[in-house]
Amino acid sequence: MFQRSPPSPCCQEFRPVGPPHRGAHPGNTSATDFMATIAEVLTISASKGYPWGTRIVDTDKGYRTTPQPFSNEGLVARKKPFVTGRASRFLRLSGLTGRVSSSYTGQRIKELFLDSDRADRSRSKTHLRNAERIVETLGELKGAVMKVGQYMSIQTDLLPKEFADVLATLQKSAPPVEYDLISSVITSEFGKAPEALFAHFDPEPHASASIGQVHRARLSNGTEVVVKVQYPEVDKNIEGDLSNLKTILSTGSIMGYRKSDLEGVFAEIRDRLYEELDYDLEMENLKEFRRIFSRDKRVRIPRVFPPYCSHKVLTLEYLPGDPLEALWEPPYTQEDRDRFGEWLFDLFAHQILRLGLLHADPHPGNFAFQKEGPLILYDFGCLKRIPPYIQEACRDLARCGLEGNYEQIDAALLRLGSRDPRKEAPDSEFYRRYLEVLREPFRPGVSYDFGESKIHERMVELAPLGVSKMFHFKPSRETVFIGRTIGGHYGNMLHIGAKACWRDLLEPYLT
C-alpha cells in the first residue's frame, strides 16, 4: 500500500483535515447521485488525512478505514511506471469511463431484483469500487490530467459539487516514480548524475506530486536543499491530456455550460499548466516574491540556487515548518491560530486587491508554520497576474456585497465576465439569499470564528436556487484562479479555526 512521504518544504500536496462525512446518499440512480455517494466515501479518507491508497471498508455500521502506519518504506513500495504516450493515456482514461459506466449499468439491472435495503447496500458497494478506480487511475497518470483534476476540484461553478469532491482526492500525494527516472532527468539537464552534482542526494522521494517529485539533497558547502524534478514528457502531454479530459468531462454533460463558454477557461488552465512546467519561470517568480516581501516579517520564502536549476529541475533552500494540521496540537494555541489566520487573510487580500500578483495554489501543503516564526510559503509555479480592471471589479463586487447593492453587484459580475450578458439579471432576492450567507464573516465589529463556519453547508442548501439561474452566469477566464484561491483558502481558514474581525482587515483594501 502506498504511503505518503513526509511534508515537503517545496512541493507538498494537499492533505485535507476537515470533518469526516459518513455514509452514502440514498435515492435515485442519476449520475449526480452516483458521484455524490462516491464523494462521501472518498471524503472519509481525505478528510482524515489518510495516505494515498488507504482502503475504505463497507460495514454494517457504515464505512471505516484501514490506514497503514506512515513510513518512507511504503512510499517506495508503491512506485508505478510512468505513462507518457498520448494514446496510452487516452486509453487509460477512456477505459476508466467505460468501466465506471458499465458498472452502473449492471447495478441498475441488479436493483430490479433486489428489495430496497439490499439495493441500497449493493449500490453503496458499487460506488465504493468506482471511487477507488477514479482516484487510482488519475493519480497514477499524474501529469496534466492530474493537475487539471486538482485545479477543477474546487471550481464549484464548473462542476457539480459531488464531482468536484471526487477530484479533490487527487490533492493528496501521488505514487512516486522510480529513482532511475528522476536520475535520468537530472543527468540530461546538467550532464551529471545527482550523486556527482550534489554532495549528497537522497534517492528516496521526500514528496511526490502530479508533475514532479521532490528529493532532499546537500550542496558542497553543507547547505541543505530540496530538489524538485519534473517528470519526463509531461509538457508533451498537456494538449493531449486537456483534450482527453474535456472529452471525458463532456460525457453525460458533467459540465453544464456551453462548450464555447468553456474554451476560455481551458485556455487559462492551459496557460497556467505551461507556466507550472517552466521551472526557469518559477525561479524568477520566487525571486520576485522574495523581493516584494523582503521587509514583511510575517512571511518567509525559500532561496533559490540558480547553478542547480534548469527548465526541469529546481533547487531550493530547505525550510522546514509544521503543517496546517499541527496548529491544533501543542505548543500551538488559539492565539497562534488567530495570528496565522489573520496573516493568511491579509496576505491574499493584498495580492488580489492591491498587488495584482497572486500565489494561486492554495494547497495547505504549500504553507508551513513555526511557533515563534513566520508563515512559510512554498511552490511558486502557479501565479496569476490580475489586470487592473479585474482588481477594480473585485473591489466593487466586495464593497457592493457588503452594502447589499444588488444592482451594482450584477454590474461588477458583468465586468468580471462571470454574468452572461445574453441573459437578464437575476432578481434581487437571488442575490440577497447568497449574500446573507457570504457576508456572515464580515459583520461590522463582530469577531467571526472560521472554525465554526457553516458557510459551505449553507451554500450547498442554496444549490437548487443556483441551478435555477445557472445559465445567467458563465465561467470567466480571468477569475478561474482567483476563485480557486479564495475557495481553497476558505478551506484553510476553516481548518485553522482562526477568529478575528475580518471586516476590519478587508475594508482598507476596498477603497
* Element holding 59 (H helix, E strand): strand 55-59
d(CA 457, CA 467): 16
Tell me which residue has cell 542526494. Answer: 201
Q: At what angle do helices 238-250 and 259-276 cross, to 10 degrees?
A: 150
Catalytic residues: 361
d(CA 451, CA 465): 26
pLDDT in tens, the chain (511 residues): 223 333 344 443 333 333 333 233 333 333 333 333 333 333 333 333 333 333 333 444 443 333 333 333 333 334 555 565 666 766 776 777 677 777 767 877 888 888 888 887 787 677 666 656 766 676 666 666 566 656 655 554 444 444 555 555 555 556 688 999 999 999 999 999 999 999 999 999 998 877 889 999 999 999 999 999 999 888 877 777 777 666 655 544 445 566 667 788 888 888 998 999 999 999 999 999 999 999 999 999 999 999 999 999 999 999 999 999 999 999 999 999 999 999 999 999 999 999 999 999 998 889 999 998 899 999 999 999 999 999 999 999 999 999 999 999 999 999 999 999 999 999 999 999 999 999 999 999 999 999 999 998 898 889 889 888 988 998 899 999 999 899 889 989 999 999 999 999 999 999 8
Beta bridge partners of 299: 375
Would you kindly state where each structural domain of the chain is located, as residue ranges? 31-171, 323-511
Number of neighbouring beta carbons within 10 Å of residue 61: 8
Angle at 292 between CA 291 and CA 295, to 5 degrees: 85
For the record, the C-alpha cell of 100 comes out as 465506471
Q: What is the DSSP string of 400-439?
A: HHHHT-HHHHHHHHHHHT-B-TTSPPPPHHHHHHHHHHHT
Q: pTM to 2 decimals?
A: 0.73
